């Protein structure tokens, strides 16, 4: 026997809300939400990598995007601040985003090739000894 909530069928039991659950879910653009999340994550990863290439770790997107010709990033940040599922369609053209990700990836690759840092850290043994000494001193 199906229960209803304010006239809408929801299944075997009522969950106590005043509107049919299906109407809200049908209006959500899941493709736009998914695209917005992917865009934000791609930009954050690439910009974080660019920050690492300079030797500093910065987690603030407002600080990372400047100087990299990404004028749409403040709008994406603003859309995200409006809510976890805020729409961000139309903020950035997908072709522009793909070109920017490729360009920034090339910049990162170039920075890695030009880096004077060794491929592997050389202080592993010294760090291990330090950690052991600190733990034993407690």
User: What is the distance between the alpha carbons of residues 86 and 26, in angstroms, rounded to a whole number?
Assistant: 16
Q: Percentage of residues in the chain with pLDDT exceeding 90? A: 2
Give the tens place of pLDDT for each residue, 109-127: 888 888 887 777 788 888 8
Give the tens place of pLDDT for each residue, 71-109: 888 888 887 787 777 666 777 888 888 888 898 888 888
- Name the residue with higher pLDDT: 107 or 4: 107
Distances in Å between the Cα of 93 and the Cα atoms of 8, 35, 39, 65 are 39, 11, 11, 17
User: What is the distance between the alpha carbons of residues 16 and 56, in angstroms, rounded to a whole number?
Assistant: 51
């Amino acid at each position: 026997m199906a229960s209803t909530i304010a006239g809408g069928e929801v299944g075997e039991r009522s969950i106590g809300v005043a509107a049919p659950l299906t109407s809200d879910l049908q209006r959500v653009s899941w493709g736009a939400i998914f695209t917005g999340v992917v865009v934000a994550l791609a930009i954050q990863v690439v910009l974080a990598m660019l920050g690492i290439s300079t030797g500093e770790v910065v987690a603030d997107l407002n600080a990372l995007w400047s100087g990299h010709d990404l004028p749409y990033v403040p709008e994406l940040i603003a859309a995200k601040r409006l809510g976890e599922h805020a729409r961000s369609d139309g903020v950035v053209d997908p072709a522009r985003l793909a070109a920017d990700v490729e360009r920034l990836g090339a910049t990162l690759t170039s920075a890695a090739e030009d880096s004077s840092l060794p491929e592997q850290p050389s202080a592993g043994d010294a760090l291990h000894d330090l950690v052991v000494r600190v733990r034993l001193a407690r």
